[in-house]
């Protein structure tokens, strides 16, 4: 009975939003949504869904709960160092006009990290940088680009001095970086991808997806990369048998699309 209620909720949410909750690990997702539903005083998912369709605030709370937006600048700093010291110079030797994508960028910490690194290497203005997420609220925050001190703790001093403005307890990204990032709403599981990327950064979202959804996504990412292009994943997200997607390990949490 309880399971049917949740399964029907999944179907209704899919029709209403095109978000397919069945592609996320069920136990985790169900636990998070049950906590919210109970907190809001609904005894069934059917009643919760009805309320959500009438109350925008509740709908946004649901979105917030299902999308976990936690992020940080330079998350896992030694991996960004590998990107900056090893892969970026390699890419820039081939071309100054890079096409990069921060997929599931949340509130913007990741694409701004990438923008700063590209800027330091003189490649931001000539490159294309796309940043996407399913959550419009997160994208709005990303565009505002105002952060607390918690998210800047791993930012190297050089970057902190050059690309942030501190106002009391907040840190804002300098305006010069913003026009170089194209923020857009996108559902990785259902929307089509652009192609020809030199670099795709997709970190800390794959962990929420089922094995089937991950498999689909790795295939789509591999298709979207140029031969020789790099996929940078999160620090708990190594790909098993990357060869099946035409990818090869290039460093820990980095994969390279095989040359044809
Ligand atoms: C934990 S954050 C990761 C942020 C950043 N990539 C990082 O590693 O710091 C996960 C993000 O994935 C987004 N997300 C979840 N499902 C998605 C989907 N199907 N398509 C696109 N983004 C999704 C969420 O909205 C959230 O902003």
Q: Which atom of ligand 1 is nearest to the CA of 138?
A: 27
- What distances in angstroms separate CA 161 from CA 116, 164, 166, 172, 235, one per listed residue? 12, 6, 9, 11, 27
pLDDT by residue (tens digit) across 133-161? Answer: 999 999 999 999 999 988 999 999 999 99
Report pLDDT for 64.
87
Q: Given a cut of 70, is residue 251 above it in pLDDT?
A: yes
**Top mutation candidate among 24, 67, 154, 236 for ligand 1, by most atoms within 8 Å of CB:** 67
Query: 187 CA to middle of ligand 1, Å?
Result: 10
Pocket around ligand 1 at a 6 A CB cut-off = 67-71, 75, 104-106, 109-110, 133-135, 138, 186-189, 203-205, 234
Could you tell me the domains of the chain? 2-67 (no CATH), 77-257 (3.40.50.150)
pLDDT by residue (tens digit) across 167-216? Answer: 888 999 999 999 999 999 999 999 999 999 999 999 999 999 999 999 99
The torsion defined by the Cα of 72, 77, 79 and 84, in degrees rounded to 10, comes to 100
Q: Given a cut of 90, is residue 1 above it in pLDDT?
A: no
Report pLDDT for 17.
84
Averaged over 123-133, what is the pLDDT? 98
pTM of the model: 0.94
């Amino acid at each position: 009975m309880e399971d049917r209620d949740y399964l029907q909720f999944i179907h209704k949410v899919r029709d209403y939003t095109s978000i397919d909750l069945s592609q996320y690990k069920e136990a985790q997702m169900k636990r998070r949504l049950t906590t919210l539903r109970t907190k809001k005083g609904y005894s069934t998912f059917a009643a919760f869904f009805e309320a959500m369709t009438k109350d925008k605030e509740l709908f946004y709370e649901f979105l917030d709960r299902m999308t976990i937006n936690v992020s940080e600048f330079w998350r896992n700093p030694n991996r960004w160092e590998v990107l900056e010291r090893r892969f970026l110079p390699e890419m820039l030797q081939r071309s100054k006009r890079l096409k990069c994508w921060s997929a599931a960028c949340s509130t913007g910490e990741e694409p701004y990290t990438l923008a700063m690194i590209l800027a330091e290497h003189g490649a931001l203005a000539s490159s294309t940088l796309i940043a996407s997420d399913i959550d419009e609220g997160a994208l709005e925050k990303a565009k505002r680009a105002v952060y607390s001190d918690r998210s800047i703790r791993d930012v190297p001093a050089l970057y902190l001095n050059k690309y942030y403005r501190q106002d009391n307890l907040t840190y804002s990204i300098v305006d010069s970086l913003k026009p170089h990032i194209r923020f857009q709403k996108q559902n990785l599981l259902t929307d089509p991808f652009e192609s020809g990327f030199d670099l795709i950064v997709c970190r800390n979202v794959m962990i929420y997806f089922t094995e089937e959804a991950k498999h689909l996504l790795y295939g789509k990412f591999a298709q979207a990369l140029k031969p020789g292009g790099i996929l940078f994943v999160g620090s708990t997200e190594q790909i098993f048998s990357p060869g099946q997607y035409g990818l090869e390990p290039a460093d820990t949490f980095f994969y390279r699309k095989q040359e044809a």
